[in-house]
Structure 1
């Protein structure tokens, strides 16, 4: 069976719960109540998706201006293709090269700042994020974050497992590809690679469209003036080059490079891969176990900016419900299977709103509870939570 991207079409519209959450004030009150500590209850786990990063300049996948919404034929490079084919890696790295500057300069928005504030209040026990932009660790380094799908800020060798900073890899790509560097420098300011906000043509996974329209097979033809994908060069793993690793058959890997140090076909190792879970690749077992443990240790989960289209995220929410924990959702559009985990007769909270607008107000509402002692034991409960 060929691999496919799951759920590229919108999900059904959400059902707001409780009914009072139809207004902004009602949404804030419902979320503040949901997040307020209960006696003898564990903290809240936050599960986030690409919608949280939209105000920072990165698009989501399934929102109104998401990658799948605007480019119906968009098709990423799949993991098996990346591992097996030099040409697929050339395409991936060329697009990633153009998209990286926008990813590197992106900054946490008010939604991320609110997450940090919730951590400071003792409301959150941790974060599990599907995002690969590393904005959570930047926004709240003291609040534990599990990057379910990895991070664009690292590269890892497929042969020896050595990690390398993505910024250093970008420097090498510039050195090896002067024509591409010149092309990127010639792009208008609204295109990735220039000091302006990232436009919709930068995808959430950090690659960039060379032109807005895609071919029927999902690939994207280079825009006029762009070098061809097959000219793009990328470096080999320096560790493997210095000391070739053993292969499964016991022989030494052969690492071939050209005169400039670029990886060459015919090599049997030394390929660097972005530190993200690519389409068709499984989540790292250690990361999966850590995420499951975070769910098991939490009293409830709040989903922010995610449609839960990927199984790796949906299963965590399902796990919370299966153990009897409540689920809250803050998302503009519909969410996979939300009627199974939140609603009338089930509990939880479902609001429609922008995280960067709703979450800061929720933080202020919770702070007022700390200062004013709203609710039964609210003052003591929140202060006790903050001290944990």
Structure 2
């Protein structure tokens, strides 16, 4: 009997990419290839005389320039720290001590979120939409940068978002800022310590050597590792809705939600557990979100993949879905991509990007330059006046991605 399938972070070493077309090894060639990908008619658009509809699939790589730590890049945690293991959904749900540890380390990692901003890639995506060239985005990222940079462009957040916590019992959402304030109230010693390490600048760097010198290590999921830290005393709040009205269990009895004298969740509670509103490892994506992502791919003529190794199956299958529908795919990513040969094996060797492209450049370098090129292209008309992407690029700072 086949053992049950358990989703884990994909940590295999990815093969170096094969650049397509060969001329795309230089920035000028990469721009030409992706430019051709955008303007070439697709099978469906050429028959209808309309402009091709392009969907975008993004990953953590596009937010590195905003200060986010990397996962699988050269200095990514999964490559540098081979022993790193994120928390799994079943652990978080069933283990009070595991939740203490998670929220303590997350409490420290969350504090710099307000400093981080969308970068030039996010605004280039906005401008490509303004030019009528892309219609929708699917993102694996949980940083909400897409919605900040282009709120009018439909975006499916495949793995959820960090801006809220959600109750695992009643599904009520609580703004993460409010939750952070509650963590500080319940844990005054940790709150004071947080102010100390903020003053020391220990959270202002992603350099592993500098972090170790300051007595800590930050993983890309916002997990601040403090050697010797005592997590057992850390407290976290219960869901306020479940506290007032405990939900019914599957057998029809009323669940138990108890708190200590300060309002912290306490055993033997059986409900009211708040978690980050993201999809943890071992947790399923909501059917409605999966269906929305499928529709984006199905409705598009082409798929542009940005800043992701597609190591997560939920993202890889979307690219494979586009390929199975014979839709051109372009991938812009630094480093290898999981199973990328599947997407380009049957391309005409002489094609220059119209059927697909694979380039290895930073999206922050390539996409703004692409926008400038496309703005000069005769057939591309702006949908409305937009300001220059450089003016919209905000100052960036460190942000801790707490996917798990």
**Alignment equivalent of 1:113, drawn from 120, 123, 127:** 123
**For 1:153-192, what aligned pairs fall within 5 Å after superposition?**
153-187=163-197, 189-192=200-203
Unaligned runs of 5+ in 2: 209-216, 349-354, 386-404
**Alignment equivalent of 1:207, drawn from 223, 230, 234:** 223
Query: What is residue 147 of structure 1 aligned with on the other side?
Result: 157
2:21 is aligned with 1:18: yes
Deviation at 1:169, TM superposition (A): 0.2
Deviation at 1:83, TM superposition (A): 0.5
Query: What is residue 128 of structure 1 aligned with on the other side?
Result: 138
User: Residues of 2 paired with 1:362 and 1:252: CA distance?
Assistant: 58
Q: Tell me the alpha carbon deviations over residues 203-227 of structure 1, each in whole angstroms, 9 at most, x when there is no partner.
A: 34333232xxxxxxxxxx43xxx4x
User: Residues of 2 paired with 1:198 and 1:240: CA distance?
Assistant: 38
Deviation at 1:156, TM superposition (A): 0.6
Cα RMSD (Å) = 1.9
Q: Indicate how the Cα distance of structure 1 residues 68 and 178 shifts in structure 2: closer, same or farther if over 3 A, else same.
A: same
Unaligned runs of 5+ in 1: 211-220, 374-378
Number of residue equivalences: 360
Q: Indicate how the Cα distance of structure 1 residues 256 and 135 shifts in structure 2: closer, same or farther if over 3 A, else same.
A: same
Deviation at 1:198, TM superposition (A): 5.8
User: Residues of 2 paired with 1:199 and 1:275: CA distance?
Assistant: 28
Q: Indicate how the Cα distance of structure 1 residues 343 and 355 shifts in structure 2: closer, same or farther if over 3 A, else same.
A: farther
User: Residues of 1 paired with 2:320 and 2:383: CA distance?
Assistant: 26
Q: Tell me the alpha carbon deviations over residues 77-126 of structure 1, each in whole angstroms, 9 at most, x when there is no partner.
A: 10000000001111111111111112332111111111111111111111
Using the TM superposition, name which of 348-357 and 39-48 deviates more. 39-48
Higher relative contact order (CA 8 A, sep 6+): 2
2:30 is aligned with 1:55: no
CA contact 1:343–1:350 (8 Å) conserved in 2: no
CA contact 2:100–2:234 (8 Å) conserved in 1: yes
User: Residues of 2 paired with 1:254 and 1:344: CA distance?
Assistant: 58
2:90 is aligned with 1:80: yes
CA contact 1:50–1:305 (8 Å) conserved in 2: yes
Query: What is residue 35 of structure 1 aligned with on the other side?
Result: 38
User: Residues of 2 paired with 1:97 and 1:252: CA distance?
Assistant: 31
User: Residues of 1 paired with 2:244 and 2:40: CA distance?
Assistant: 54
CA contact 2:375–2:381 (8 Å) conserved in 1: no
Per the normalisation by structure 2, the TM-score is: 0.85
User: Residues of 1 paired with 2:373 and 2:169: CA distance?
Assistant: 51
Per the normalisation by structure 1, the TM-score is: 0.88
2:341 is aligned with 1:335: no
Q: Tell me the alpha carbon deviations over residues 117-176 of structure 1, each in whole angstroms, 9 at most, x when there is no partner.
A: 111111111110000111110111111110000001111111111111011000000000
Deviation at 1:252, TM superposition (A): 1.1
CA contact 1:295–1:319 (8 Å) conserved in 2: yes
User: Residues of 1 paired with 2:341 and 2:363: CA distance?
Assistant: 21
User: Residues of 1 paired with 2:222 and 2:345: CA distance?
Assistant: 35
**Alignment equivalent of 2:12, drawn from 9, 24, 44:** 9
Query: What is residue 302 of structure 1 aligned with on the other side?
Result: 304
Deviation at 1:60, TM superposition (A): 1.9
CA contact 1:17–1:343 (8 Å) conserved in 2: no
User: Residues of 1 paired with 2:187 and 2:53: CA distance?
Assistant: 49
